[in-house]
Amino acid sequence: MNASDIPVIDVDVLVIGGGTAGPMAAVTAKEQDPNLKVMLLEKANVKRSGAISMGMDGLNNAIVPGHSTPEQYVKEITIANDGIVHQPALMAYAQRSFPMIEKLDSWGVHFQKDETGDYDMKKVHHLGTYVLPMPEGHNVKKILYRRLRRHRVQIENRYQATRLLKDGDGRIAGMIGVNTRTAEPIIIRAKAVIMATGAAGRIGLPTSGYLFGTYENPSNNGDGHAMAYHVGADLANLECFQINPLLKDYNGPACAYVTGPLGGFTANSQGERFIECDYWSGQMMLEFFKELEGGNGPVFLKLDHLAEETIQEIETVLHTNERPSRGRFHDGRETDYRQHMVEMHISEVGFCSGHSASGVWVDETGATTVPGLYGAGDMASVAHSYMLGAFVYGQICGESAAAFAKERSEMPALDEAFIAAELERIQAPLKVTDGIPPAQMEYKVRRLVNDYLQPPKVTKKMEIGLQRILAVREDLPRLQATDPHELLRAMEVQSIIDCAEMAARASLYRTESRWGLYHYRVDCPEQNDSEWFCHTRLYKDDNGNMAHGKRPVAPYLVELGEEKDAYQKLRVQKAANA
Amino acid sequence: MPTATQRTSVPVIIDEDKCIADKGCTVCIDVCPLDVLWINPDTGKAHMRYDECWYCMPCEADCPTDAVKVEIPYLLR
């Protein structure tokens, strides 16, 4: 098939990814100007795609007047992320957090309120109060879908974006992709593009060995990270891995954010609390890891001391929202919160700014380093964003992209040679006979990520891992897809290999330890602010090689003061006479 | 490179007596984030064709006839 045989679809704003940030971005672009042609492209189906396909049980970073201020929030996240944040981007989020809650409330998303009608805020973070439960949060996706229809956003389901396109001036020009059920290619020309492709959650292997038993929705496999890299955008701080405390084997969140305010906590095998704060930070994860591997391990979620009505409330929330098959998992093992602590473990590694801080670099306008390309949600670099951050940056990107598209008078010119080469890359696995199945190649590269890149990180191991990952890359000409579905997986495994290589190289570049377990480098165990108080950049250089650099941390808007080391002191201190 | 076919037990179970995919329903097939549910050409009913499940449950929750049951994948159970 030649590029000239494929009709080019023209839009003003293209949004890639229809999970959380994507629908908000598309609706916002339409709100800016209903005459803009806005397309939302989704690899699955917008009705049930992304991280919140079954809803969400709470906001983990709500800044609600009377409970906290944007300044307090920016300070806390800066401290929790060891100082390496872009405060202007955090502040833009923090200031829009409450208006976004009110907007979602007006759309019909139910948040928990107290008897006076005030939002029922809970304290989970080390310093401030930012958690807002939403026990009826299972319908978020339905509400978003209604908004998309109302604003007449054009939706294209079951299309996988494979590469972004640029014009001769280096500005974004659109994307090329493929239908996941027919293997038909698609070319979309766009004046502005918003990426909302989610985390890179399928680069490590869950300890269960089940390829799709990941913490993240496995459709979030890092396609966006790979596409951003190949189009020349900067990625930031990729060595700051996401590693989360989860229910062992089930690999879903234990949900200390839900259970903590009700009296549950993370305990060791003695049933004792060992961390002061269950908020997910690298420092907390390091203490978790030490307890897991130590003589008092493993680690458990402890609820068995709670009253019957409290446990029923917890079960109602956890077994109907976000990951509702959790109840079924417990039933299968006859685990009852009333009688048993629930065994926990740590997740496979990944890139996810929703809980950690790595991703495609964006500033406070959602802009990447490629003009006209924006990023929102788990794939973009704004630290600790969670669901509300995805909504807010979806909105910010929707505004920015609409403005960029309106200023651009002509549709961009397309690079025919690049498109032809990409069509060939897409179709190649279908032409291979007697080749390697995608699942086998995927298992291999993800197992290498576990063996060599999972913290504690060791330089020599990471060097070996990088070489082994590159060896898998050399097998790509033998990658075979026997049907369109296998082609989807074959394209995904190429993104996974890209992300695995980026994870290795980024981790080797930062020769210090930072972010607790996330970048705990055994042979460089100290945090070294004189050399590494900076963001790290990873990008494709002019020769097509993976290159690194440093980006200075922008001057703080909020100083940290005497609380600056608060997240370094998370382990429960034993009394001297204990 | 020669290949083998390997059997695997799948976590999504369809009650074929209840499933109305043969009458044109594609709800579970539409909502699956991993696109693992397809029409079985032999029966006209939905079935799990690829063992790539996140046990996330939209297929079960959205099925209009309660024909879908999501089990925890065997390796995790």
**What are the start-end ranges of the H helices in A151-301?**
223-231, 256-259, 282-293
Asked if pLDDT for residue A575 goes beyond 90, the answer is no
| High-pLDDT (> 90) share of chain A, % | 91
The pLDDT value recorded for residue A343 is 97
Burial class (CB in 10 A: 0-12, 13-18, 19+), B53: buried
In a mutagenesis test of the B interface, which of A158, A202, A212 is the best target, namely the one with the most B β-carbons within 10 Å? A212
Residue A291: both structure tokens together: 């307890």
Residues A125, A131: Cα–Cα separation, whole Å = 8
Residue A329: list chain B partners with CB under 8 A: 72, 76-77
* Mean pLDDT, residues A75-82: 96
Q: Which of A290, A314, A346 is the last residue of a domain?
A: A346
The pLDDT value recorded for residue A576 is 56
Total domains in chain A come to 2
- Give the type of residue at A478: R
* Inside any domain, residue A453: yes
In DSSP terms, A192 is beta-bridged to A13
* Inside any domain, residue A90: no
The pLDDT value recorded for residue A247 is 95
The pLDDT value recorded for residue B49 is 96
* Mean pLDDT of the residues in chain A: 96
State pLDDT tens for residues A523-547.
999 999 999 999 999 999 999 999 9
Write the DSSP assignment of A53-91 as a string of letters: TT--SEESS---TTT--HHHHHHHHHHHTTT-S-HHHHH
In a mutagenesis test of the B interface, which of A182, A210, A221 is the best target, namely the one with the most B β-carbons within 10 Å? A210
The pLDDT value recorded for residue B2 is 82
Grade residue B34 by pLDDT with cuts at 50, 70 and 90. very high
Residue A249: list chain B partners with CB under 8 A: 76-77
Q: A272: domain CATH number?
A: 3.90.700.10
State pLDDT tens for residues A336-379.
999 999 999 999 999 999 999 999 999 999 999 999 999 999 99
Lowest pLDDT segment from A212-226, A315-329, A540-554: A315-329
Q: Which of A346, A381, A398 is the last residue of a domain?
A: A346
Q: Which domain holds residue A319?
A: 245-346
The verdict on domain B12-70 having CATH code 3.30.70.20 is: yes
State pLDDT tens for residues A449-464.
999 999 999 999 999 9
Nearest Cα of chain B lies from the Cα of A486 at a distance, in angstroms, of: 10
Query: To which residue do tokens 């908020």 refer?
Result: A279
The helix (run of H) or strand (run of E) holding residue A178 is strand A172-179
* Inside any domain, residue A559: no
State pLDDT tens for residues A55-76.
898 999 999 999 999 999 999 9
State pLDDT tens for residues A373-405.
999 999 999 999 999 999 999 999 999 999 999
Nearest Cα of chain B lies from the Cα of A185 at a distance, in angstroms, of: 18
The upper half-sphere exposure of residue A551, i.e. CA atoms within 13 Å in the direction of its Cβ, equals 19
* CB pair distance less than 8 Å for A54 and B53: no
- With CA atoms as reference, the chain B residue closest to A327 would be B72
Q: A498: domain CATH number?
A: 1.20.58.100
The pLDDT value recorded for residue A187 is 98
* Mean pLDDT, residues A253-265: 88
* Inside any domain, residue A249: yes
Taking the CA atoms of A508, A510, A513 and A514 in sequence, report the sign of the dihedral they define. Answer: negative
* Inside any domain, residue A155: no
Nearest Cα of chain A lies from the Cα of B17 at a distance, in angstroms, of: 23
Residue A324: list chain B partners with CB under 8 A: 57, 61
Grade residue A40 by pLDDT with cuts at 50, 70 and 90. very high
* Inside any domain, residue A265: yes
Does the CB of A436 have a partner CB in chain B at under 8 Å?
Answer: yes
Grade residue A566 by pLDDT with cuts at 50, 70 and 90. confident
Nearest Cα of chain B lies from the Cα of A323 at a distance, in angstroms, of: 6
Asked if pLDDT for residue B69 goes beyond 90, the answer is yes
Nearest CB to A210; choose among B58, B70, B73 = B73
Grade residue A41 by pLDDT with cuts at 50, 70 and 90. very high
Asked if pLDDT for residue A574 goes beyond 80, the answer is no
* Inside any domain, residue A392: no
State pLDDT tens for residues A141-166.
999 999 999 999 999 999 999 999 99
The predicted complex's ipTM stands at 0.97
Burial class (CB in 10 A: 0-12, 13-18, 19+), A346: buried
Asked if pLDDT for residue A177 goes beyond 80, the answer is yes
Residue A44: list chain B partners with CB under 8 A: 32-35
Does the CB of A250 have a partner CB in chain B at under 8 Å?
Answer: yes
Grade residue A256 by pLDDT with cuts at 50, 70 and 90. confident
